[in-house]
Every structure is written in structure tokens, then in C-alpha cells.
């Protein structure tokens, strides 16, 4: 991979994943600023009337690369995080695989690095994800 150490990137993606709100916020801010909006999906806790505010706790965050969606999800605030990789085709989920954070972060790192080869903004996201200032 040109210029990016996948192990460092995967380790950066695993960091702080236990606190989904903080971690998802970091992923959302970094990736949504660098990737097209349709690639980043965020689900927030909904309030009394089914509305989610911008500052509502994050329940899941997903990133779509090609036909694979990399998702971190929890059932509620304080619940454990579940890492999943979904294979989608034409908007239809063909397969969902629940994996460990090591597998999830490694595969997301590979997908992000591949995408960054032809997209400068994604390359900037890689730089942020591997910088020492990361939360």
C-alpha cells in the first residue's frame, strides 16, 4: 500500500472502540468530512416522538465501500458494541457477518486505504486516523 501502514491504521481504528459515542463521533467527523455523504451512515437514539437530535447518543455508525458496509452497533447506551461486515448488492443485504474488532478494523483499514489511492480526501482521513493526536 502506498505510504500507509495497514497495521497502524487498523490499530487506530480499534482504539477507543469500547466507547461507541466517542469513537463513532471520531469516525463520523473524520470520515464524513472526507467521504461522500452516502458512504457514511449514522443511527442515533430517538427521543419521545421518534426524532433523533444531533447530540443524541450514537447507536451505530457504518461506512460503505463498494459492496461492503462496515458497521459498529449497540442496542442502547452502555451496551456492548458489535462489529459487523455486511455484503450488499443493489441495496439488498446478502450476508451479515459479526466479527471481532481486530477483523473489522483490519478489513475497514484495507478498504479505506484502497479507496484513498484514488481519492485525495480519503487520504487526508487516513492521515487523521493515524496521527498521534487521535482521541
- Least confident interval from 49-53, 59-63, 131-135: 131-135
- Apex CA 32: angle with CA 37 and CA 82, to 5°? 100
pLDDT in tens, 66-87: 899 999 888 777 777 888 999 9
Q: What pLDDT, on a 0 to 100 scale, did the predictor assign at position 115?
A: 83
- Residue % of the chain over a pLDDT of 70: 63
pLDDT in tens, 110-128: 888 888 788 777 777 667 6
Contact 83, 71 (CB under 8 A): yes
Query: What mean pLDDT is predicted for residues 74-101?
Result: 87
Amino acid at each position: 500500500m502506498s505510504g500507509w501502514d495497514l497495521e497502524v491504521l487498523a490499530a487506530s481504528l480499534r482504539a477507543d472502540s469500547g466507547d461507541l459515542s466517542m469513537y463513532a463521533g471520531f469516525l463520523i467527523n473524520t470520515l464524513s468530512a472526507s467521504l461522500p455523504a452516502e458512504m457514511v451512515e449514522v443511527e442515533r437514539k430517538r427521543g419521545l416522538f421518534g426524532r433523533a437530535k444531533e447530540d443524541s447518543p450514537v447507536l451505530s455508525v457504518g461506512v460503505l465501500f463498494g459492496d461492503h458496509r462496515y458497521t459498529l452497533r449497540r442496542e442502547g447506551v452502555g451496551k456492548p458494541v458489535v462489529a459487523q461486515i455486511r455484503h450488499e448488492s443493489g441495496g439488498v443485504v446478502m450476508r451479515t457477518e459479526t466479527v471481532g474488532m481486530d477483523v473489522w478494523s483490519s478489513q475497514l483499514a484495507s478498504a479505506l486505504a484502497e479507496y484513498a489511492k484514488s481519492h485525495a480526501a480519503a487520504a487526508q482521513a487516513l492521515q487523521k486516523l493515524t496521527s498521534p493526536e487521535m482521541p
